[in-house]
């Protein structure tokens, strides 16, 4: 792809169910070390590979993202996919983003675990052909950088072994996992998930 002087915007798409410090640290690294001008946390309303009942509400997940990124100027919470047909397919999201924001050069951010099964994604070859893709490392999923297509690059960001599933299971078990979350996210989750003792 030709070099562009447009704003380099990373699209970090995910359920963020909930967002945790691993997400934030990775995005921070990509802005400070890998040349991105900004990152949009694209909250996905429905992942085709997940069941809807696993997800917290769209509004809560978006609100948690908004709370924890408000102090860093390079981050933005996005509900762009909330207004697209469901289920959300990345190929269509990226197409609509390019149409809506021609002043930006989008870079699609995925983990090496997703890259390992990228051929299962809907119209994966079209995504590779039409978009810049950034792969970040995940444990157990090595990537041969020399074999990547021209539009795809591997970054050597720190590896974070934290998952939203772990966070949800810990919360269900009554564990205090505040240091896995941004303080504002922890505070909001506690207020939402802790039953009120006022009503008897």
Residue 124's CATH number: 3.40.50.620
Q: Looking at the domain assignment, is residue 71 inside a domain?
A: yes
Domain that holds residue 118: 7-161
Task: Please give the pLDDT value at position 138.
Answer: 95
Q: Looking at the domain assignment, is residue 88 inside a domain?
A: yes
Q: Looking at the domain assignment, is residue 184 inside a domain?
A: no
Task: Please give the pLDDT value at position 177.
Answer: 97
Task: Please give the pLDDT value at position 49.
Answer: 58
155, 135 contact by CB (below 8 A): yes
Q: Looking at the domain assignment, is residue 54 inside a domain?
A: yes
Environment class of residue 116 by beta-carbon count within 10 Å: exposed (0-12), middle (13-18) or buried (19+)? middle
22, 160 contact by CB (below 8 A): yes
Task: Please give the pLDDT value at position 3.
Answer: 57
The total number of structural domains that make up the chain: 1
Task: Please give the pLDDT value at position 86.
Answer: 84
Q: Looking at the domain assignment, is residue 189 inside a domain?
A: no
Task: Please give the pLDDT value at position 18.
Answer: 97
Task: Please give the pLDDT value at position 91.
Answer: 97
Task: Please give the pLDDT value at position 192.
Answer: 86
What is the pTM (predicted TM-score) of this model? 0.90
Q: Looking at the domain assignment, is residue 166 inside a domain?
A: no
Label the pairing between strands 104-111 and 38-43.
Answer: unpaired
Q: Looking at the domain assignment, is residue 169 inside a domain?
A: no
Q: Looking at the domain assignment, is residue 182 inside a domain?
A: no
> Taking the CA of residue 41 as centre, how many other CA atoms within 13 Å lie in the half-sphere pointing to its CB?
29
Mean pLDDT in consecutive groups of 10 residues from the start of the chain, 200 residues: 78 97 98 98 78 81 97 97 90 97 97 97 98 97 97 96 94 96 96 60
């Amino acid at each position: 792809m030709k070099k562009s002087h447009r704003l380099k915007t990373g699209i970090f798409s995910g359920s963020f169910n909930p967002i945790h410090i691993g997400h934030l640290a990775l995005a921070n690294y990509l802005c400070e070390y890998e040349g991105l001008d900004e990152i949009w946390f694209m909250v996905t309303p429905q992942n085709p590979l997940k069941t809807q009942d696993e997800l917290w509400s769209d509004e809560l997940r978006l609100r948690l993202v908004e709370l924890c990124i408000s102090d860093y100027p390079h981050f933005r919470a996005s509900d762009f996919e909330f207004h697209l047909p469901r289920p959300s397919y990345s190929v269509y999201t990226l197409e609509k983003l390019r149409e809506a924001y021609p002043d930006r050069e989008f870079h699609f951010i995925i983990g090496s675990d997703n890259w390992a099964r990228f051929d299962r994604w809907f119209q994966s070859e079209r995504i590779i052909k039409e978009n810049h893709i950034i792969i970040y490392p995940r444990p157990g999923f090595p990537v041969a950088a020399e074999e990547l297509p021209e539009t795809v690059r591997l970054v050597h960001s720190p590896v974070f072994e934290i998952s939203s599933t772990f966070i949800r299971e810990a919360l269900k078990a009554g564990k205090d996992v505040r240091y896995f979350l941004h303080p504002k996210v922890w505070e909001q989750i506690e207020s939402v998930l802790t039953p009120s003792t006022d009503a008897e």
